[in-house]
Amino acid sequence: MKERQSLATHKRFALSGWERYVITAADGRYMLIVEVSCTGHKETVMIAFADMKKNDVAHAMGFRRRFRHSTILSHVSTEDGYITWANPVLRAAFVVRGNKRHLLFACPSLKLPDGRVGLDVNIILLQGIYEKQNKDMSLRKASSNQRSCWMGTITGMPVSGTLRLGEDMEAFSPDSAWAALDWCRKKGRVRLKKSPVLNATGIHDGAACSISLAMTSRSGSGERHSFISYEGKTYNLSGIIWEAHEYDGLLNAEIHDDAGMLNIRFIPAFSNQTEPSRLFGRVSGRFCPSIGKEIWIESFSGFIEERRITGATTCID
């Protein structure tokens, strides 16, 4: 499509952006966050393991210098391709082939919150639900000729493969964990805007439910719309209202919409000390769509993160 060609052939500005995978255990024990980003003169790979029982997070991160127009990212996350990374701290490979995403990474010296040492992951994410919607997906760019930004989200991907924590190995069954992908590609003077966003995943009636709620959501403003994704359906939300206050130094948030369909609460447990800052906790409440059945959100694992983009259009898959 023309937009994709424009992003790939834009000569004046270097391509930047990120891909972030969030893998959540169905029983809520842990969250894995894997992120590849390319900004300015730096390329970064970050892996975080959040132990929701120990209320602590371990992370490994690697940096390397980026040359003027080089990038480890493909031009659009939906294209087939691969990324590889290796340094003394972590090794990683990301492969996209058709409707499968293969993630391999190892942090042999990473000390986990429970004291075990070493993290190895070899998993395949199946984006079958996304592929059914791919025909209707549109990628659009901002109106200015000097900037363009594409964003996308893939949710509800079942996970298969293995996870090693220290000396303990466990295999993923189709319903033991779910994954979501948030990706962005931008070119030109598109600025990062800090605005809290709540991301959470959990299980309702045996199916994955993913939540992404921005503190502000204004059509055409360049921010991603707030949404809830469940059983292959994406419910876009507007008029999101955050009522936030601090308790024991952590941010509590009650979130609802002006239509009365959404009413949830985020209860924080712990935070990390790296950028971007994340506050981990549990999400509970309910969502009553105008069409469809009521969804109860019961202690979903989630986190609040401050990172948004201005000058972008939204693509929810």
The mean per-residue pLDDT over the stretch 90-106 comes to 91
Q: Which residue type occupies 263?
A: N
- What is the reported pLDDT for 313? 31
What is residue 224's predicted lDDT score, i.e. its pLDDT? 56
State yes or no: pLDDT of 292 exceeds 90: no
Rounded to an integer, the average pLDDT of 1-18 is 51
Tell me which of 94 and 193 has the higher pLDDT: 94
Question: Which one has a higher pLDDT value, 109 or 216?
Answer: 109
pLDDT interval class at 141 (50, 70, 90): very low
- The residue-averaged pLDDT of 153-167 equals 91
62 has pLDDT over 60: yes
- The pLDDT assigned to 246 comes to 76
- Taking every pair of Cα atoms in the chain, the longest distance, rounded to a whole number of angstroms, is 53
User: Around 9, how many Cα atoms within 13 Å sit in the side-chain half-sphere?
Assistant: 6
Q: Which residue has the higher pLDDT, 240 or 168?
A: 168
The answer to whether 301 and 28 have CB atoms below 8 angstroms apart is yes
Q: What is the DSSP letter of 175?
A: T
- pLDDT attached to residue 6: 40
Highest mean pLDDT: which of 96-105, 107-116, 224-233, 256-265? 107-116
- Terminal CA-to-CA distance of the chain, rounded, Å? 17
pLDDT for the residue 271: 87
Q: How far is Cα 268 from Cα 278, in angstroms, rounded to an integer?
A: 10
Burial of 77 (0-12, 13-18, 19+ CB in 10 A): buried
Q: How far apart are CA 172 and CA 26, in angstroms?
A: 10
Q: What is the pLDDT at residue 129?
A: 47
pLDDT (0 to 100) of residue 5: 39
Read off the pLDDT of residues 220-270 as tens digits, 9 standing for 90 and up: 344 556 889 888 788 888 888 888 877 666 778 899 988 889 999 999 999
d(CA 234, CA 130): 11
Bridge-based pairing of strands 147-165 and 117-126 is: antiparallel
Q: How confident is the model at residue 293 (pLDDT cuts 50, 70, 90)?
A: confident
The residues with which 169 forms a beta bridge, in sequence order, are: 164
Q: What is the pLDDT of residues 169-217, one digit of tens each?
A: 999 987 889 998 888 877 755 555 556 888 999 988 888 899 988 876 4
Q: Is the pLDDT of residue 280 over 90?
A: yes
**What's the one-letter identity of residue 88?**
P
pTM over 0.85: no
| Gap between the Cα atoms of 109 and 85, Å rounded | 16
Q: How many whole angstroms separate alpha carbon 274 and alpha carbon 46?
A: 10
Give the pLDDT confidence score for residue 182 in this predicted structure: 84
Answer whether 113's CB lies under 8 Å from 51's CB: yes
Give the per-residue pLDDT at 15.
72
Q: What is the mean pLDDT of the chain?
A: 78
Residue boundaries of the structural domains of the chain: 2-309
